[in-house]
Amino acid sequence: MMRILVTGGAGYIGSVVTEQLVEQGHAVLVFDNLSKGHRDAVVDGAEFVQADLRDYAEVVRALRTFDADAVVHLAADSLVGESMTNPAKYYANNVVAGLTLLGAMKAAAVDRMVFSSTAAVYGEPERQPVEETAPTQPTNPYGETKLAFEHALRWHYEAYGMASLSLRYFNAAGATGRNGERHWPETHLIPIVLQAAAGESGPVTIFGDDYPTRDGTCVRDYIHVQDLARARVAALESLINAPACRAYNLGCGGMGYTVREVIDAVERVTRRQVPLRRAGRRPGDPAVLVASSERIRCDLQWAPRFQNLDEMSRRRGDGWASRTNQTVS
């Protein structure tokens, strides 16, 4: 049994990580300021403290009183567009708050972390699928701040032996019976298409249908949130057994999915037609972004179990329509 402090554990991915850790008999303390998260997303078996990572004393207190073995760090600001107009917010939360957390871990003698990074650290990679050895050239402050924190992790490993695994992925999707995506405003494609299907928003805009892809729309990588959570549990177990400092990509393992395929999947799942609007390509939108997961498959024997877009297009709970209004807070 491990004792894990989960930052951002009331958020979309963190709530599912917490669910899985508790299900597997681990003790979890969720540390979340609820700036984006939801208190009711935290399963009953987990402890909860509402506090901000920038509060050093509070983080040290939480780590010490909970007697944490390791940290799963998911708390962050993660809107690419917002990061372009307000980079200071991203440096403050994704770098400064992260360093505060690392300082608190050092003070509390907690020396293992699984970090939620992003494939945005690669920018616009030339080769697909993207491997961990690809150049890291972020094109926005969001990716830049995540990469800066990965670099800090590397030096904390060198200097203090603080072990960490950074998980880089593109788009989380899907839900469990209990938790799903509840962001407002929504910026991720699958929930946006679901909202349009439910009549909660206007038409979905397809930005460019003349890309050199199988149906002309952009190809992207989607990972089911339950697969993401399983990767974190595998990473934690590996860190406890063998301290290291590495980055792993998490990808869907295939050729990715086009925007058109996502829309088709939502139409199948909801049995409704999604209203569409066509627009030109957006600057800086590569035709294909797909991650290779070979490294984590070899090292940690992790592979995605959910590779079916229909499964990724379901909202939390069993169905979708009856729970439509629960997805927006």
User: Active site residue: 142, 157, 222, 248, which one?
Assistant: 142
Q: Judged by CB under 6 A, which of 18, 93, 195, 238 binds ligand NAD?
A: 93
DSSP output for 110-151:
--EEEEE--GGGG-S-SSSSBPTTS----SSHHHHHHHHHHH
Residue listed under structure tokens 């997805």: 327
DSSP 54: T
Q: Binding residues for ligand NAD, how many (CB under 6 A)?
A: 29
| Part of the chain binding ligand NAD (CB under 6 A), chosen from 7-15, 194-202, 306-314, 316-324 | 7-15
Which residue number, 23 or 40, has a Cβ lying nearer to ligand NAD?
Answer: 40
Q: Which of residues 64-83 bind ligand NAD (CB under 6 A)?
A: 74-76, 78
The reply to whether 169 belongs to the active site is: no
Helix%, strand%, coil% for the chain, nearest 5: 40, 20, 40
Question: Using the rule CB under 6 A, is 12 a contact of ligand NAD?
Answer: yes
Nearer to ligand NAD, 209 or 236 (CB): 236
The owner of tokens 């958020």 is 11
* Signed CA dihedral, 237, 239, 95, 170: sign only: negative
Residue 42 per-residue DSSP state: S
The residue from 11, 125, 251, 256 that contacts ligand NAD (CB under 6 A) is 11
Query: In sequence order, which residues have a C-beta less than 8 Å from that of residue 211 and are 6 or more positions away?
Result: 217, 218, 219, 281, 287
Residue sitting closest to ligand NAD (CB): 11
* From candidates 2, 5, 6, 8, binder to ligand NAD by CB under 6 A: 8
DSSP letters for 195-210:
HHHTTSS-PEEEE-S-
Which residues 171-230 are close enough to bind ligand NAD by CB under 6 A?
A: 171-172, 183, 188
Q: Is there a contact between 5 and 72 (Cβ–Cβ < 8 Å)?
A: yes
Is 34 a residue that touches ligand NAD (CB under 6 A)?
yes
Query: 33 vs 209, which CB is nearer to ligand NAD?
Result: 33
Distance CA 103, CA 53 (A): 11
Closer by beta carbon to ligand NAD, 18 or else 213? 18
Instruction: Check residue 149 for interaction with ligand NAD (CB under 6 A).
Output: no
- The DSSP-derived string for 216-237 is SSPEE-EEEHHHHHHHHHHHHH
Buried b / exposed e along 279-314 (16+ C-beta atoms within 10 A): eeeeeeeebbbbbbbbbbeebbebbbebbebebbbb
Q: Which is nearer to ligand NAD, 166 or 209 (CB)?
A: 166
Q: Is 315 one of the binding residues for ligand NAD (CB under 6 A)?
A: no
Cis peptide before 304 (omega within 30 of 0): no
Among 47, 52, 131, 299, which residue sits at the site for ligand NAD (rule: CB under 6 A)?
Answer: 52
CA angle 35, 36, 42 (to 5 degrees): 105
Give min distance, CB of 37 to ligand NAD, in A: 2
Q: Please, which residue, 14 or 256, has the CB nearer to ligand NAD?
A: 14
Residues 99-128, interacting with ligand NAD (CB under 6 A): 116, 118
32 binding ligand NAD? (CB under 6 A):
yes
- Which amino acids are annotated catalytic? 142
Contact residues for ligand NAD, defined by CB under 6 A: 7-8, 10-14, 32-37, 52-54, 74-76, 78, 93, 97, 116, 118, 169, 171-172, 183, 188
